[in-house]
Amino acid sequence: MKSLIIANWKMNPSTEKEARELFETVKRGVKGVKNAEVVICPPFVYLPLFSGLTLGAQNVFFRIKGAFTGEVSALMLKDLKVKYVIVGHSEARFHLKETDETINRKIKSVLDAGLMPILCVGENKGEEKQNVIERQVAEALKGVPLNQAKNIVIAYEPVWAIGTGKNCSVEETMVSVLTIKKVISKLYKRELAEKIKVLYGGSVDGKNSGSYMKGAGVSGLLVGGNSLNAKDFIKIVKSVGFTRSDNF
Ligand code: PGA
C-alpha cells in the first residue's frame, strides 16, 4: 500500500507566484516516486491553479450551500478535483473554536460529497493523551456508517509537537496509533482498524521522517513547516517513497 505524504501549507505562501513555484518544484522533485501518494493542501485560493499532484483542502464548512458568508463547501472542493480535506486541525480547534460537534458535521459533509477527510487528533501539553484521542476520534465519527468510515484518514498530531521542532518519539507515536486503532475497532470492526490509514504530524523533517515509517506503525505523514521548502519536502517524500531509479 502507498504511504500518504501530505503537505499542509497552512496560510502560506503570500503570493500566487510563490505558490506556483513551490508546487511546480515539488512536482518535478517527486516525479518517479512510486510508493507514496503526495498530497498538497494549499490555501483555498490556490487550489484551482494546480494539477499533476493530488490536492487536499485545509478545511471546509459543514453545510453544502447557502447563506454562509466566507465559507467553502465540500461540493466546491470536489468540483476543483480535491480528494482530501483536513478536518479538526488543532489550529482550527484553537483559533476558530471548532468543537467535536462541528468537526463531526464537517466529517459527514466531506464523506457525503465523496471526498476523504483527514481527521486530526492529538493532546495538548499536560493533557492525558489516551482520553483526548479516544474522545476526539469517537465524537468525530459519531453516526458515520461503516461504508463511509473506510474513507477516513486519521492524523495523530500532538499539539505540543506542531511547529515547535519537538517531534513526538517513535515509541509514543506507536502507542497513539494503537489507541486510535483500538477506538476504530470498538466503533466498527477489527478489519477496518487494520486497514485505516493513521498518519503522524508534528515537526516532521527529513531526518526523522523515515523512522516514523519504519517504527511507529503509521501509513504516512502530515508535514507543515517543512512542506514550505521544496527541497526539505522532497527529501521527506524520498525518505519514505523510493523512486523508479532506486528500484532498478
Ligand atoms: P509542523 O505542522 O510540521 O509545522 O509541525 C504540522 C501540522 O500542523 O500539520
Say if residue 26's pLDDT is above 90.
yes
Q: Is 95 assigned a catalytic role? A: no
Is the backbone peptide bond immediately before 13 cis, with ω within 30 degrees of 0?
A: yes
Q: DSSP per residue over 36-85, as a string?
A: EEEEEE--GGGGGG--SSEEEES---SSSSSS-TT---HHHHHHTTEEEE
Residues near 57 by beta carbon (within 8 Å), at least 6 away in sequence: 41, 44, 47, 72, 77, 82, 84, 85, 86
Atom of ligand 1 at shortest range from CA of 6: 9
pLDDT at 243: 54
51 CA → ligand 1 middle, Å: 23
pLDDT at 102: 98
For residue range 135-167, what is the model confidence (pLDDT) as tens digits?
999 999 999 999 999 999 999 999 999 999 999
**Angle subtended at Cα 27 by Cα 22 and Cα 31, rounded to the nearest 5 degrees:** 150
pLDDT at 152: 98
Q: Is 89 assigned a catalytic role? A: yes
What is the C-alpha radius of gyration for the chain, rounded to an integer number of angstroms?
A: 17
Atom of ligand 1 at shortest range from CA of 227: 3
pLDDT at 82: 98
pLDDT at 247: 39
201 CA → ligand 1 middle, Å: 6
pLDDT at 242: 66
Model pTM?
A: 0.96
Tell me the mean pLDDT in the region 20-25. Answer: 98
pLDDT band for 220, please (50, 70, 90 cuts). very high
Q: Which H or E run includes 27?
A: helix 16-29
Taking CA atoms only, the protein residue closest to ligand 1 atom 9 is 224
Say if residue 248's pLDDT is above 60.
no
Dihedral, 123, 126, 128, 130 alpha carbons, nearest 10 = 30
Say if residue 245's pLDDT is above 80.
no
Whose cell is 461504508? That residue is 147
Taking CA atoms only, the protein residue closest to ligand 1 atom 2 is 224
pLDDT at 203: 98
- Ranges of beta strands (E only) in the chain are 3-8, 36-41, 54-57, 82-87, 116-121, 153-156, 197-201, 220-223
Tell me the mean pLDDT in the region 207-227. Answer: 95
**Sign of the C-alpha dihedral, residues 173, 174, 175, 178?**
positive
9 CA → ligand 1 middle, Å: 9
Q: Which amino acid is at 156?
A: Y
Q: Are 26 and 46 in contact (CB under 8 A)?
A: no
Q: Is 223 in the pocket of ligand 1 (CB under 6 A)?
A: yes
Q: Are 112 and 60 in contact (CB under 8 A)?
A: no
For residue range 93-108, what is the model confidence (pLDDT) as tens digits?
999 999 999 999 999 9
Q: Are 8 and 14 in contact (CB under 8 A)?
A: no
pLDDT at 240: 86
Tell me the mean pLDDT in the region 32-58. Answer: 97
pLDDT at 22: 98
